[in-house]
Structure 1
Amino acid sequence: MQNYNLLISIIIPAWNVEQYISKALESCIAQTYTDLDILVVDDASEDCTCEIVGQYCKKDPRVRLEKKEHEGVSAARNKGIELAKGQMAIFLDSDDWLNCDAIQILVKSYQEHPGYLIGAKPTFVSEQEQCSCISDSVDKECAAVVLSQHDALMNTDTDYYRNASACYKLFSLDVIRSNHLKFDKEVLFGEDGLFVFCYLNHVKGMVYHNVSIWNVLMRSTSSTRLRYNEKFMTSIYGVEKMLAYPHEKSDEIDTMLKKFLVTKSLNMIRRYLDCENTDSVIPKQYRYYIRKYKTAYLKTATAGETIRTIMILYVPFSIYAAIYRKTHCVQ
């Protein structure tokens, strides 16, 4: 294949993933693009994760293992950023795997569009659906969508370009380091979206390929699929940090972020109620943010969204909760 003269670091945070780490590493080693630095940052695993990674280090000199104390995925990724040897980097979760031409597609796109964040589409795979083979991508010549910085930032709150995740993307390590970008350890849910938002403020925009190059394992025990957790509140702090981060100052972007924050708060209250919680303290915290930014949200809200917002803000929580549970069949 064509040599692009770029060393790509694949940064893999790992914690107690002995069941999955082999497949992730096999998919890295099988890449058609071979100029790789494969760095596993182990977050104090208590199972056989390190032993398995150590075996791969012996078989392939591109694989490296860094051990650290247990601090969470953000700290592990930050250590990976610090130690990565490449000019560019991707962040691969330890239970996900790449199609064999994933890096080739991303690097080729970066060569055609230097100075942009490069992204592509993931495929979400259940534990029952996953297979042992590592495939290549279909429709790999699909035309790319080139977004300006403004348009990329305006898609912070949408699902299509997957900007809520730092995965499925190729980043410049020079941009990350020169602008002191890190994953925020205080934001436990939504830290990826905050990182991508900050990064986009230092590049020309985003190039997105509607081509699936990445396989995401939907584990039943994944943190994003757990019942309501008070740590979810930090996702709201993440959006507030986006508002505070020096970004392209436009009313459009600020309004989008305020609406995004209200939408998150409304959805968190719903998730809270779906889990049969009754305490009013947590919803009161979300109501504070809804009230603070409701003007921006209500400008484009539907009639149903407006009614829902007004009820959450002004109807006593016990009454709203009873109405919600009855209409949504929550016991």
Structure 2
Amino acid sequence: MDELISIIVPIYKVEKYIHRCVDSIINQSYKNLEIILVDDGSPDNSGVICNEYQKQDSRVKVIHKKNGGLGFARNSGLDCASGKYVTFIDGDDYIGNKQIEKMYSFMKETETDTCMAGHTKVYKDKQVEHLNVCSGKVYKDKIKEHILPRMCGADAHGNDYIEMSVCMVLLSNEIIQNNHLRFVSEREYVSEDLVFDFEYYPLSKGVCILDTTDYYYCDNEDSLTTKYRGDRFESQIRLYKLLIDKSKNLNIENLCKVRLQNTVIAIARYSIKLEYKFAGSNGKNIANENVRRICKNNTLQEIMSEYDDHDIRMASRVINYLIRHQNYFLLKITMKAKNIFGI
């Protein structure tokens, strides 16, 4: 008999997407589901729509809570999840109708307790498939060595990166509950998923990676990842320090450090780009002050001092040089040229 699988869906201001999301879950070919919709204090009609689904389908449970963010909404779902396995779907995304069946079947076939998969990025005018870089592989030993470094960031060439989102993974609820694993707030760390991953994967007995892309990650204008966030860089620095400590405790710092540094530098460049992009609305002086604050960050400068970037794209290398030497005038000009010409 198929085992119960819990699907946790945090809901916040997704009224125009929620039917697409929940319908894709209800219509799964795998039927033994516990569907937990967590209304995170959504100010629109999302909570009402959740209640309607609960009346229509006995598998649906609804939690209404005060707004606390994505991580804490997921925690509320975990507190009542009773499935053998658990996965997460964001309220503005959706899944193919055989997503759960495929993941569960592959996990049973490979005798593992965790199944990862790829995803499809959905834009307004196109869809782009992203296979997991370890697609087709099964790991039953040295799991933390194979998985966690790849989640920390890409290599120097921008490759060999595993999407760390828990939305594309079928996880062992036994591991989660027995070790009381929960999410930190995304308001404190820029990636609450990765912090969770560092706790979960060292406890896994086996990980299989499915060669599908049936999770549809939607590029919505209201998404947290598309909005300006003034503390994005500082949040990344906090995450870097936390994961360096965790990787030391797991004896994989040598595998993770350079990738974590790659990510910090990439986020520094991206944060500077956003400051200049939103200078019109936030104010030029504020943008310039924020860029200076980023460039002067001690942790970033320490990373830059030991970072070998001779083998990366010239445009990125030039920006790194200007950040390292805090040349704000040329940095602004270069960033604008990069945006205009796509270099």
Shared fold, TM over 0.5: yes
Q: Residues 164 and 236 from structure 1, CA distance in 2 versus in 1: closer, same or farther, beyond 3 angstroms?
A: farther
Query: Partner of 1:291 in structure 2?
Result: 301
How do 1:241-280 and structure 2 match up within 5 A?
A: 241-245=242-246, 246-276=249-279, 278-280=287-289
Q: If each structure's helix is expressed as a fraction of its own residues, which one has the higher value?
A: 2
Aligned mates of 2:323, 2:126 — CA distance in 1: 40
Instruction: Give the superposition deviation at 1:95.
Output: 1.6
SS of residue matched to 1:93 = coil
Query: Partner of 1:168 in structure 2?
Result: 168
Report the more deviating stretch, 216-225 or 89-98: 216-225
2:147 corresponds, among 144, 152, 161, to 152
Query: Partner of 1:217 in structure 2?
Result: 218
SS of residue matched to 2:86 = strand
Q: Is the 8 A contact 1:258 1:296 kept in 2?
A: no
Instruction: Give the superposition deviation at 1:162.
Output: 4.2
Residues 14-68 of structure 1 deviation map (CA, whole Å, 9 limit, x = unaligned) = 0122222222221111111111110001011222222212121112111000110
Unaligned runs of 5+ in 1: 131-138
Q: Is the 8 A contact 1:92 1:167 kept in 2?
A: yes
Instruction: Give the superposition deviation at 1:327.
Output: 5.6
Instruction: Give the superposition deviation at 1:314.
Output: 1.3
Aligned mates of 2:261, 2:195 — CA distance in 1: 14
Q: Is the 8 A contact 2:8 2:77 kept in 1?
A: yes
- Aligned AA for 1:152? I
- Aligned AA for 1:175? I
Aligned mates of 1:116, 1:317 — CA distance in 2: 50
Aligned mates of 2:206, 2:272 — CA distance in 1: 33
Aligned mates of 1:104, 1:161 — CA distance in 2: 25
Aligned mates of 1:77, 1:234 — CA distance in 2: 20
- Aligned AA for 1:290? L
- Aligned AA for 2:70? V
Instruction: Give the superposition deviation at 1:219.
Output: 1.1
Query: Partner of 1:324 in structure 2?
Result: 335
Query: Partner of 2:16 in structure 1?
Result: 19
Q: Is the 8 A contact 2:145 2:252 kept in 1?
A: no
Q: Is the 8 A contact 2:189 2:238 kept in 1?
A: no
Q: Residues 117 and 294 from structure 1, CA distance in 2 versus in 1: closer, same or farther, beyond 3 angstroms?
A: farther
Instruction: Give the superposition deviation at 1:121.
Output: 1.6
Q: Is the 8 A contact 2:7 2:87 kept in 1?
A: yes
Query: Partner of 2:86 in structure 1?
Result: 89
Aligned mates of 1:45, 1:303 — CA distance in 2: 43
Query: Partner of 1:125 in structure 2?
Result: 122
**Once superposed, what is the RMSD of the aligned Cα atoms?**
2.9
Instruction: Give the superposition deviation at 1:171.
Output: 1.0
SS of residue matched to 1:207 = strand
Q: Residues 194 and 284 from structure 1, CA distance in 2 versus in 1: closer, same or farther, beyond 3 angstroms?
A: same
Aligned mates of 2:338, 2:106 — CA distance in 1: 48
Q: Residues 238 and 177 from structure 1, CA distance in 2 versus in 1: closer, same or farther, beyond 3 angstroms?
A: farther
How do 1:101-112 and structure 2 match up within 5 A?
A: 101-112=98-109
- Aligned AA for 1:272? E
Answering whether residue 52 of structure 2 is matched by residue 43 of structure 1, we say no
Answering whether residue 300 of structure 2 is matched by residue 308 of structure 1, we say no
Aligned mates of 2:68, 2:189 — CA distance in 1: 11
SS of residue matched to 2:211 = strand
Q: Is the 8 A contact 1:266 1:290 kept in 2?
A: no
Q: Residues 179 and 265 from structure 1, CA distance in 2 versus in 1: closer, same or farther, beyond 3 angstroms?
A: farther
2:26 corresponds, among 21, 26, 29, to 29
Q: Is the 8 A contact 1:116 1:205 kept in 2?
A: yes
SS of residue matched to 1:89 = strand
- Aligned AA for 1:149? K
Residues 269-321 of structure 1 deviation map (CA, whole Å, 9 limit, x = unaligned) = 23333434532344423542321222553266537344432321214324432
Q: Is the 8 A contact 2:189 2:236 kept in 1?
A: yes
- Aligned AA for 1:163? E
Q: Residues 95 and 298 from structure 1, CA distance in 2 versus in 1: closer, same or farther, beyond 3 angstroms?
A: same
SS of residue matched to 2:215 = strand
Q: Is the 8 A contact 2:233 2:268 kept in 1?
A: no
Aligned mates of 2:107, 2:167 — CA distance in 1: 16
Query: Partner of 1:177 in structure 2?
Result: 177
Q: How many percent of aligned residue pairs carry the same amino acid?
A: 23
Aligned mates of 1:48, 1:228 — CA distance in 2: 26
